[in-house]
Structure 1
Amino acid sequence: MISICIATYNGAKYLEEQLASILLQMESSDELIISDDGSKDETINIIKNYAAQDPRIKFFKGPGKGVIANFEFAITQSQGEIIFLADQDDVWLSEKVQTILNFFQNHPEKDLVISDLVIVDEHLEVIEPSYFEYRNVTLGVLHNIIKNKYIGAGMAFRSSLKSIILPIPAKVPMHDMWIGLIAETKNKSALIPQQLTLYRRHDGNASEIDTKASCFQQLRWRISLIIALISRKILKVK
């Protein structure tokens, strides 16, 4: 059984296309967890219409505290052995779920994977053929603390990580950075080079490829992140 977690907020414009691409890859025993953070557009109606026709969809009212807390809540509700994170506005390519499940089966020592993505515009026209190449994605704790390359839209992990991940500290920069670093510190993460997601960029994205935050704000985020990792006893201070 797998769990796919989506955190929604005013995502009506692209949500149906994403839901369709995901549901086609799910087995009858799988679950799609959708936590909505107080959408004002047609997002909730879309979700309710899909949920009425598909029992695999489990719809929750989110905590209303932003994207990090919304994903945290969705992950908390998950029951699957493998947990996928999904953005509300992307499109999953048809081989995504099976490719990632095959990787976990063939690599029992790994607890988290990130697959490559194709960066596209709102019309799904290719902007960059490889997110990994565009962002120079590599593993490494220090490297990713300094400049985060972990991306939730390509992320999946074993449920065994939940006990370490949760709760997600409120002051970390993003949920995917926190989750990726925890797996990384335990040498349990891996990259899948196949492009398995159309990663849509548009005016309403909740996340940025290249952050516009000031250097001071980025430094504060990094300090908060390191403190959180030490407090969680993920990083050791000698």
Structure 2
Amino acid sequence: MQELQDKKLQPIDLSPLSDAPLVSVLIANYNYARYISETLESVLCQTYPNYEIIVCDDGSTDNSCEVIENYTQKDSRIKLVRKPNGGVATALNAAYRESKGQIICLLDADDVWIDNKLQKTLEVFRSDPQCGFAIHNVIQIDFQGNFIKPTAMFQRLASGWLAPSALVNGGLVDNIPPASALSVRREVADLIFPLNEAFKRNADSLIFRFAPLITAIGAAPEVLSKFRLHGANTTSLVSVTPDFLEKDLVIMERVHQEQKLFVTNVYGAAIAQKLTDLKFSVLVSNSRYLHARLTNKSKIERKEIHQHLVANPRFHTHFNSLPQKWLVQWGEYLPNAFFAAFFNLVYGSSRLKSFARWLFRRNLTASFIRG
């Protein structure tokens, strides 16, 4: 592990990349026999060939291991690690212990990479010697592989050295994609791993909340992976519900506590004290307000939450669409029933949205156009 920083907020030092660095692809699998073949094939089709694939099976009860073992026999770059079920963090830790690459890439066992994902990721790292965390855009697919939306998930991606702004934003950096779009340099990973194994889910949250605090972010705007949404997902939903918001707020609080410990270990207590409360994040304030409205909290209870949200300096730049912004900015003046109806139009899985997705899939050309 790299020595701790000298109590100064700055990107950690990174060694020069070799001409053809080894890339370690970490996959945590649990009962995804249905998808793991397509996932592995998407790595085997990469234009950049110098990689290893380490799949940790977290005690699957389906035939996942049989499927994966068939691949290990065909390609020596694939390694299967078996362990009893313990959660995502334990699986990623086990896979990381077996890795040897200068670059570490995460890949969910149900997601799919585009064939130039690794090549583009390497280009991102080479473009900035201080970049130890690379991300890219993604597109959503359903359980059958159909596109859910016609566009990439993000209109813009985080980039640059964002630790100072993250500390005053409750430790959060906006516009970071899901796990299969995350890659870190070995020096960064060594400071992050092992992950807290109490995180049986959402372990990737630790990675994308820790990495921006110690290194610059590099972003490729292209869509380089397909993010699958289906009924078995542990961290994603097509629609937003009060229960989802409540669970998400609990997870963010746990991650925030982990961030505090991480910053203390890396920089010391003085820098850790600069990490503000989660209420300073517009993302968290928005979730708290939506939860308060959908659970019919009194006007008195939600007034402070709403005022804190709309007064946030990031409020006017946070939202990806005007309806989302208008809902929380002016929704406070709507009766609960009207607010719930408007909310469902913006966030829910309405019939209109379902029809739009069906129409898009019907007219989508067979070829997948990147970007």
TM-score, normalised by the number of residues in structure 2: 0.58
Quote the offset at 1:182 in angstroms: 2.5
Superposed CA offset, 1:135-170 (max 9, x none) = x75465254745875421101111111221122124
Q: Is the 8 Å Cα contact of residues 171 and 221 (structure 1) preserved in structure 2?
A: no
Alignment partners' CA distance in 2, 1:113 and 1:144 = 22
Of 61, 64, 71, the residue aligned with 1:50 is 71
Of 205, 221, 225, the residue aligned with 2:254 is 221
Give, as a single letter, the amino acid of the residue that structure 1 aligns with 2:266.
K
Alignment partners' CA distance in 1, 2:100 and 2:212 = 23
Of 131, 141, 149, the residue aligned with 1:110 is 131
Give, as a single letter, the amino acid of the residue that structure 2 aligns with 1:60.
V
Quote the offset at 1:223 in angstroms: 4.4
Question: SS where residue 65 of structure 1 aligns?
Answer: coil
Question: SS where residue 212 of structure 1 aligns?
Answer: helix
Question: Which range is displaced more, 99-108 or 52-61?
Answer: 99-108
Alignment partners' CA distance in 1, 2:48 and 2:224 = 18
Kindly report the root-mean-square deviation, in angstroms, between the aligned alpha carbons of the 2 structures: 2.6
- The number of aligned residues is 236
**Greater gyration radius:** 2
Identical columns (%): 26
Alignment partners' CA distance in 2, 1:36 and 1:46 = 11
Quote the offset at 1:202 in angstroms: 0.8
- Cα gap change, 1:49/1:188 in structure 2, threshold over 3 Å: closer, same or farther? same
The structure showing larger relative contact order (alpha-carbon pairs under 8 Å, at least 6 residues apart) is: 1
Q: Is the 8 Å Cα contact of residues 28 and 56 (structure 1) preserved in structure 2?
A: no
Equivalences for 1:2-41 in 2 at 5 Å?
A: 2-25=23-46, 29-41=50-62
Superposed CA offset, 1:101-149 (max 9, x none) = 111122221001111100111122221321223xx75465254745875
Matched, 1:60 2:81: yes
Alignment partners' CA distance in 2, 1:186 and 1:24 = 32
Of 193, 197, 222, the residue aligned with 1:166 is 193
Q: Is the 8 Å Cα contact of residues 23 and 102 (structure 2) preserved in structure 1?
A: yes
**Who is 2:305 aligned against?**
none
- Cα gap change, 1:63/1:167 in structure 2, threshold over 3 Å: closer, same or farther? farther
- Cα gap change, 1:144/1:19 in structure 2, threshold over 3 Å: closer, same or farther? farther
Q: Is the 8 Å Cα contact of residues 87 and 197 (structure 2) preserved in structure 1?
A: no
Question: SS where residue 127 of structure 1 aligns?
Answer: coil
Question: Which range is displaced more, 98-107 or 169-178?
Answer: 169-178
Alignment partners' CA distance in 1, 2:172 and 2:124 = 28
5+ long unaligned stretches in structure 2: 1-21, 274-371
Of 136, 141, 154, the residue aligned with 1:132 is 154
Question: SS where residue 40 of structure 1 aligns?
Answer: coil
- Cα gap change, 1:44/1:191 in structure 2, threshold over 3 Å: closer, same or farther? same
Richer in strand (by share):
1
TM-score, normalised by the number of residues in structure 1: 0.87
Extract structure 1 runs of 4+ deviating beyond 6 A.
none
